[in-house]
Amino acid sequence: MTAFARPALVALALVLMTGCATTTSEMAVITERPRPAAPPTVTPAADVTTPAPEETIQPGRFDGGKMWTFDNPPLEYFREAYGLELNDQWFEVASRSALRFGESCSASFVSRRGLVMTNHHCARESITKVSGAGESLLDDGFYATSLDAERKVEDLYVDQLLFIADVTDKLTDDIPDYQNDEEEADARERAIEALEERMTRDARGQDTTHIVQIVPLYNGGKYSAYTFKRYSDVRLVVAPELLMGKFGGDPDNFTYPRYSLDMTFFRVYGPDGAPIETRYFFPWSTAGVQEGDPVFVVGNPGSTSRLNTISQLEYERDFDLPQQLEVLTAFAGIMKTYLDTQPPGDANGDIRNDYYSLSNSIKAMEGQLAGLRDPALMARKRAAEQNLRRAIDADPKLKADYGNVLDDLLAVQASKKATARQAGALTFYGSALGSRILTRALYGYAYTLLKQRGATQTTLDELLKDANELKDYPPEVERSLIVARIRQMERYLGRTDPTIRGMLQGLTPEALADTLVATSALVDSARFVVLLDGTYLSSKDASVPVINALAPLYFTLGQQIGSFGDREGNLNAELSRARFAVDGFTSPPDATFSLRLTDGVVQGYAYNGTVAPYKTTFYGVYDHYVTYGPNSEWDLPEAWKRVPPGLDLSTPLNLVSTNDITGGNSGSPLLNKNLEVVGLIFDGNIESLPNEYVYTDKAARAISVDARGILEALDEMYDADRIVLELTAGQMTATEQEADAVRGE
């Protein structure tokens, strides 16, 4: 799927093209996870190195990774690898102490009074939201010295997983066979939505805070219903300064050794306005870990592509990733140029947060693209695919049912290539990444036509809600984003393309941007809302001719790409069923931002001609500050520049392990075998980025803030004594939690 073909936008395209009065909320928004810009070409790049022969490179046992689902943990493997006999109570404590933090990160309960731990980079938006007049908490940090001082974050929630149920058969029975891929995909979507609503309604009959989400696994080969308890009163407790939470900045991102204090604490409150009491939480380990110790991560990895076929990976390598990188790199450059001219402070918090997310995505995609350009990785994937093809061909029934699936997927990629140039021109258009004027124009166009075609008020309200979430950008940023977007379209479509000529109407991109920024009501969110009442297209706003020229291409292309996605999705599900028939459920499904358990060991690795140690200490913070100096990415807050007498610089600060993680795992707890906190996941190293496609642990590492370093900073730097005591005093061990669970307390 291309970056253009986000699910909500495809649905919206179908709405406008067919007149159907249904849609989904959330227009395309990039998630955190995800290189100089790739050239705007749609010609597939040839490998410069001949792939290694498949007979010498074969897939490994864990190529599919170790992101185990809680309803199918590999008990025999845990016994074999670590000598652990894990029971149901262990898994219950592990799953219910973990949390999903908002829509993009992980977290966990770390005290019986509802204290929640996650990353600083997951909390930046929340920290900005609760900053009062004259405050810059993102820069200066925050510590609530009492419960009364803990600040509620509006619209923030955390979800606790309660139950998992396999609903594959229910959905399969509700979906008849269709000749048309679009009809089948629509029927499946309707069946999922109906089942989700029905199960949520039943769950809320027991508890109004319960919600149910249907999670597709194995590319739709299996479906599970996840029942969550949602906590909506979440308050900020402790956050370090930005310079510490992001120590090393973009240069250190996805690297190791690291020296970052990427942690933040919140607290969950109940409807009575008091902190909740929970028996499910992870106790704190003051002893920490040593190299070679087994460790576990419980969190919500966002997405991986390990089940993708060679043809799908080649399309991603040659088209999707280069096109996305071009757009993101241009947008990030615009935001950095603006931020470099501004004084620090929360006045620029939204742009700073967007810039940090873009920088993270760019670096992640660069690593992924490098993986896809690695002949050894592609040979390994090719060998696995050939093994699967041979197994299918060897069984007459499997061959009859699935013998053409791989070739059909190859044909879909060929169809996608025919639209690659247009898709490249509109990559991420309509998302929250780019120009507010152009994005709002798309919302206005959609809202007007949907209202004219009799869309339900619910549909219109969802669209209005999404549109209103776009925050204004300064005029100079807005102008640069418009120019960058139009220049990109010109490169892909050509200056003589009818869409380009219709948009520009004889103007240069710069002149059009000047006109829009100076005169369009869409530059301002309040003025935009006035127009977004169904009359936008009949207004005299300067953006109307632009969107009238652009929207037909956008929605027509969206419909076409959506049809490719429907076909590809159906074929992916068929291929997963073929894999089940050949190998069973021996490998975990790709990541889906659903709760997973991953295992690993604390272990350094060879890199850059030397060896990366399994841990770093506070000594490294000051070494980097002295080496790079003030006003660098390794600058320190004023409070840190003079080492306090009590701070033990030999305390471990960061550590690495072989756990299988990806974007979405940020904020996950790192746990020992007794389910005690020994660290806080916040990143992977550069070597881990190709794990998007094949998991290896030779040099790929998950990076955590060491639990000992967190305590040392809380105690000696922030004087957060009440939090230190809450984490370390009177904690209930995992064994005691298991006993409570058995007693039903």
Query: What are 651-687's pLDDT values in tens digits?
Result: 999 999 999 999 999 999 999 999 999 999 999 999 9
- Cα dihedral 192, 34, 352, 517 sign: negative
Share of the chain above pLDDT 90, in %: 78
Angle of CA points 214, 24, 118, to nearest 5°:
60
Instruction: Write out pLDDT tens, residues 337-351.
Output: 999 998 876 667 678
Would the pLDDT of 739 be above 80?
no
673 lies in a domain? no
Alpha helix stretches (DSSP H) within 63-161: 75-82, 88-97, 120-129, 137-140
Closest by CA to 566, choosing from 408, 430, 422, is 408
674 lies in a domain? no
What is the count of structural domains for the chain? 1
Map tokens 């709002």 to a residue. Answer: 440
Threshold 0.75, pTM exceeds: yes
β partners of residue 164: 226
How much of the chain is helix, strand and coil, in % rounded to 5?
50, 15, 35
For the residues of 580-602, what is the DSSP string, one character each? HHHHTT-SPPPP-SS-EEEEEEB
Structure tokens at 117: 């731990």
CA terminus-to-terminus distance, the chain: 47
Q: Do residues 564 and 416 lie in contact, with contact meaning Cβ atoms separated by under 8 Å?
A: yes
pLDDT of residue 32: 32
Instruction: Write out pLDDT tens, residues 277-318.
Output: 999 999 999 999 999 999 999 999 999 999 999 999 999 999
Mean pLDDT score across all residues of the chain:
89
678 lies in a domain? no
18 lies in a domain? yes
- Residues 315 and 327: their CA atoms lie apart, in Å, by 18
Pick the range with the lowest mean pLDDT from 398-402, 509-513, 524-528, 706-710: 524-528
pLDDT of residue 469: 86
3-state secondary structure 284-318: ECCCCCCCCCEEEEEECCCCCCCCCCHHHHHHHHH
85 lies in a domain? no
374 lies in a domain? yes
Residues of the domain holding 510: 7-49+306-572
Q: How confident is the model at residue 141 (pLDDT cuts 50, 70, 90)?
A: very high
Q: Do residues 365 and 35 lie in contact, with contact meaning Cβ atoms separated by under 8 Å?
A: yes
pLDDT of residue 347: 63
pLDDT of residue 534: 63
Who contacts 301 (Cβ-Cβ below 8 Å, separation ≥6)? 67, 591, 593, 596, 598, 660, 661, 662, 663, 664, 665
331 lies in a domain? yes
Map tokens 């942690």 to a residue. Answer: 263
Strands 105-109 and 677-684: unpaired
- Residues 269 and 162: their CA atoms lie apart, in Å, by 18
pLDDT of residue 43: 42
Map tokens 């306090």 to a residue. Answer: 644
Closest by CA to 389, choosing from 409, 370, 375, is 409
- Residues 596 and 224: their CA atoms lie apart, in Å, by 13
pLDDT of residue 600: 98
For residue 413, how far is the Cα from the chain centroid? 25
Strands 233-239 and 142-143: antiparallel
The dihedrals phi and psi of 247, each to the nearest 5 degrees, come to -60, 125
Instruction: Write out pLDDT tens, residues 392-419.
Output: 999 999 999 999 999 999 999 999 999 9
pLDDT of residue 402: 96
Structure tokens at 78: 């845990």
62 lies in a domain? no
